[in-house]
Amino acid sequence: MIGKLLKRRARTGEGGSIVVEGARKATGGKGRTRIVMTMAVFFGIFATISGRLVYLGFQTPDMSGGPQSRVTASRPDIVDRNGEVLATDIKTASLFAEPRRIVDADEAIEKLSTVLPEIDYEQTYHKLKSGAGFVWLQRQLTPKQQSDIMQLGIPGFGFRTEKRRFYPSGETSSYIVGLTNIDNQGISGMEKYVDEQGLSDLQASGLAVAKDLKPVKLSIDLRVQHVVRDEIAAGLERYRALGTGAVVLNVKTGEVVAMASVPDFDPNNPYNAQEKDRLNRMSAGLYEMGSTFKSFTSAMALDSGKATMASRFDASHPIRVGHQAIHDFHGKNRVLSLPEVFLYSSNIGSAREAELVGIEGHREFLHRLGILDKMQTELPEVARPTEPKVWKQVNSFTIAFGHGVSTTPLQAAVGCAALMNGGFLMNPTFLVRTQEEAMAVAKKVVGDKTVDGMRYLYSLNAEKGSARNARVPGYRVGGKTGTAEKVINGRYSKELNFNTFVAAFPMDDPQYLVFTIADAPHPEKPGMTDVAASNAGVMAGNIIRRSAAMLGVKPDFSHENGATLVSYQ
């Protein structure tokens, strides 16, 4: 019975359909398993890669495999008031090495030293044997150096194009324009000022694109700057001084038209910029100004209302305070009028003027003119003046003729400018500024009568006094000398002076002021003196003679220095 049934199913194919269906089910199950396993493998791989990427995202990137990009940030050009370029970016090549590709470090250094003989052998050897992916060897090569190194054909050496700063005027304006470091970041002068105004933030964010950076225009006139630097450099040699310097101010706007100090440095090769005597004496040096300070003392006496041009002061004998005595250098030994105190540069007369005003009034007046406060300007290198913590009578007496307080020559020049421009104190600026903009921030510090009186005294001193050496025909120059004993190790030297000279022109309506200094000058020739009139005064006169026309001041030969004296005789 069973056998018949099996034979019948075989004929009809019923059993075959069951076997095939079972096989299909078995095959389908294995296929799905393989697909799931394959997908799992791929998911595992992707998960591993994703995890690695996330991990690397939180790590500090390894920069050893190539040069850093931050060193090539662009800077804006710096130009003078007429558009002449003072600082600009240029492209340069820097040499790097990949130590892992260096075959023979000794041979590589030996070849490299034929082009760069100054290279440090030991330091370079350690770099090439470090096994690092990337090391700098020499930054900012000249085109010839790059070409010569390329011809050496050293495996593992390469070049990166960077930007470096180039200063077309060289040392002429070095203290004003300043410097950048190897990474093209401003570290002094107006270069540092530009960074502090937001450039460094733009560089860090990668937004300092050269085409978008507008030039920074300074108040400097490169032509006048060249004259100033040339004259003080000649004076440094002629008078065998430790240093010389000068500033030209526009008294109507407070603009610094030119300023220089020597010894200086070449910003294109500033190897000696950090030497002891290479500082900007005009804004970063503190000095006792000597008799130039008598400008402020006479102005103070007039402005107080306690003295007039007719006032008289007893200079017939020295003033004694305790164990100290105040003498005149070339005393007249008599009673002097206020103009005579100024003309003969009487220490005794100046002390009497200070005594008339009083200690507190004296101190207040100097602070009013900004002489004893830290100066506010764009240039970063500005020293803070010094004064006695407590002013006593003897302090007021000595400060009246320029001893006992220290300030910067630039601040003294700014204070004198306020006595010439109508009585308005304005912070000096190294950026272009109109007269309207200057007056908007200016402060009236002395009255009109005081200004008229000081113009008269400057003119008188140029006609009959120590300012004669600075006279320039046609330009009506007035001024005041200052010869101070130089302070060395806390004591006054009897051999060395710090000399100053302030000159304004044209005196009927002063437009410009020149302030010159000579640090420890010597007589030009045997028998000559080393007082300010013989050096600082001569430099000021030469600067005016050579630059007045460039400044737009027209000569007028119909006036003499004494023409303004009539109303005070």
Query: Which residues have a catalytic role annotated?
Result: 291
- Alpha-carbon distance of 65 to 365, in angstroms, equals 63
Q: Which two tokens stand for residue 118?
A: 């100054």
Residues 6+ apart with CB under 8 A from 127: 97, 99, 135, 137
Quick one: which of 34, 152, 144, 132 has its CA closest to 92?
A: 144
Report the Cα 117 to chain-centroid distance in Å: 33
- Alpha-carbon distance of 66 to 6, in angstroms, equals 83
- Alpha-carbon distance of 420 to 372, in angstroms, equals 19
SS3 516: strand
Beta strands in 420-566 (DSSP E): 424-425, 443-444, 478-488, 491-505, 512-519
Quick one: which of 493, 517, 477, 554 has its CA closest to 235?
A: 517
Q: Which residue has the tokens 């302090």?
A: 395
Where helices occur in 468-569 by DSSP H, the ranges are 536-547
Whether residue 93 contacts residue 137, with contact meaning beta carbons closer than 8 Å, is answered with no
* Amino acid (1-letter code) at residue 191: E
Quick one: which of 60, 65, 68 has its CA closest to 183?
A: 68
Q: Which two tokens stand for residue 561?
A: 């220095």
Q: Which two tokens stand for residue 552?
A: 């737009």
Residue by residue, DSSP assigns 251-263 as TTT-BEEEEEEES
H/E stretch holding 178 reads none
- Alpha-carbon distance of 350 to 319, in angstroms, equals 11
Whether residue 317 contacts residue 333, with contact meaning beta carbons closer than 8 Å, is answered with yes
Quick one: which of 266, 171, 336, 245 has its CA closest to 519?
A: 245
Cβ neighbour number for residue 443 with a 10 Å cutoff: 13
Q: Which two tokens stand for residue 63?
A: 């920069």
- Alpha-carbon distance of 187 to 383, in angstroms, equals 17
Report the Cα 83 to chain-centroid distance in Å: 19
Give, in degrees to the nearest 5, the angle at Cα 300 between 257 and 377: 30
Give, in degrees to the nearest 5, the angle at Cα 249 between 246 and 255: 125
Beta bridge partners of 518: 244, 499
Cβ neighbour number for residue 219 with a 10 Å cutoff: 23
